[in-house]
Amino acid sequence: MGRFGTPRTMRRDRRSTGHSQLRQRLGTLRRHRSAQVKARHVLVLAALTAVVVVLTSCSSAGGSSTYSDQISAVDSFAAIAQPSIAVATEGGDRLAPDAVVEPGLPIVVTASRGALTDVDIPTSSGRALAGSLSEDGSTWTSTQPLGYSKQYSVRAEAVGVGGRTSVSQGFTTASPESLTSAAILGEKTVGIAHTIGVRFSDPIPDRRKAQAAITVASDPQMQGAFYWISDSEVRWRPERFWMPGTKVSVAVNIYGVDLGDGLYGNRNLSYDFTIGRAQTIEADDNTKTIVVKRDGKVIRTMPTSFGKDSTPTPRGIYMIGDRVEHIVMDSSTYGVPVESSAGYRTPVDWAVQMSYSGIYMHGAPWSLSAQGNSNVSNGCPNLSPADAEWLVKNTMRGDPVTVKNTNAETLSGVDGLGDWNIPWAQWKKGNADT
């Protein structure tokens, strides 16, 4: 006992601000208790006197009725004012004696009709679980995660005008059948179309539970929604592109959280990023050019060759992903065997990723004669080596690329970098239940 100050402990530790506050509070409670008890007695006496007056006035003149002059108390004031203590998980019900809790949920100890003077939850290391006390001393909340498959005991004490109360409450934490980790896809500075991607190492059975563990805050504030592009990857995006300079903070608090079927998160993580300049890219098959605008002004125009008729480049809005100096373009990544007549395995220099399915803007010196006038590629927008190098060095993850007027369907919204091709009305409804 005495983790944040019984009266005796508080006298030993004068340096603790929290203990000093509790000493002051306890002194005030003692003074007020005496005064309130005296006032209570006066009120009780006055009330009893009034009862006698009423009874006398209601008796009939000349009646023979008599009343006892013996008065006994029905309730004890101390019992009525006695402090009570409740132990629960944050946002949950009071713990039962055999409770099993998720380790990621804070333990909350609450005192009614008094203030907490001691809360102690020993850990396996012998140290007390860390926590914070509310200003009025009524609520203590743990700030340190619990361990998996552990037994804990909560010992708490409170004091009030009605006296002192102590409780002891045991509980057990959950034992996971398996653990999953999460990764956040992004960089420190990103483009205006960047969406927040959280990728788990395992398929998630309870998508809603996973979503509830993820928080997104931005300045200026932007409303957004979740959408799952696969069983193991969820995206969060606003309705519209970000404003340049927006600060965004993401927290994925999955440790100790049951994500369904006994799958728990193994650790929490966070990601802070800033939205960079407003840069957009427009790739138009009618003109066979790629035009780059920064803050509304054209800064570069590049001739290109899109996918030929048999492998047209999908239309729609893309987000730039990786930018690399060297890569091997392999048709097997999107289901076409390298050994087939339509297959290929080609090393290229200077490539900018546009989709998970293998679409890149990249250098293609073998198609220089076609760039700007005809489509000869396997689906990727071809560029000169100089233009491709410039693009790699002057783009950010999350820059939007709009492909127009090609003879193809729109890029799938769950392709990985095609989030903006899902209409907002559909996106905001989410798909956690599907």
> What span, in angstroms and rounded, lies between the C-alpha atoms of 60 and 70?
22
> What span, in angstroms and rounded, lies between the C-alpha atoms of 9 and 6?
5
Q: Which of 58, 194, 326, 380 is catalytic?
A: 380
58 annotated active-site: no
Residue 238, Cα to own-chain centre: how many angstroms?
A: 16
Q: Which helix (H) or strand (E) holds 427?
A: helix 424-427
362 annotated active-site: yes
Q: Which of 41, 194, 326, 362 is catalytic?
A: 362
> What span, in angstroms and rounded, lies between the C-alpha atoms of 267 and 316?
37
Q: What's phi and psi for 223, nearest 5 deg?
A: -80, 140
Q: Are strands 163-173 and 289-294 parallel, antiparallel or unpaired?
A: unpaired
Q: How many CA atoms lie within 13 A of 185 on its CB side?
A: 20
- Amino acid at position 180, single letter: T
Question: DSSP 3-state assignment of 297?
Answer: strand
> What span, in angstroms and rounded, lies between the C-alpha atoms of 134 and 156?
15
> What span, in angstroms and rounded, lies between the C-alpha atoms of 360 and 106?
46
Helix then strand count (H, E) for the chain reads 6, 27
Q: Which helix (H) or strand (E) holds 165?
A: strand 163-173
- Amino acid at position 166, single letter: S
Q: How many CA atoms lie within 13 A of 156 on its CB side?
A: 31
Residues listed for the chain: 434
> What span, in angstroms and rounded, lies between the C-alpha atoms of 365 and 17?
71
Q: What is the residue-wise DSSP string for 314-335?
A: PBEEEE---EEEEEEEEGGGGT
- Amino acid at position 367, single letter: S
Residue spans of beta strands (DSSP E) within 201-242: 214-219, 224-230, 233-238
> What span, in angstroms and rounded, lies between the C-alpha atoms of 130 and 128?
6
Catalytic residue list:
362, 380
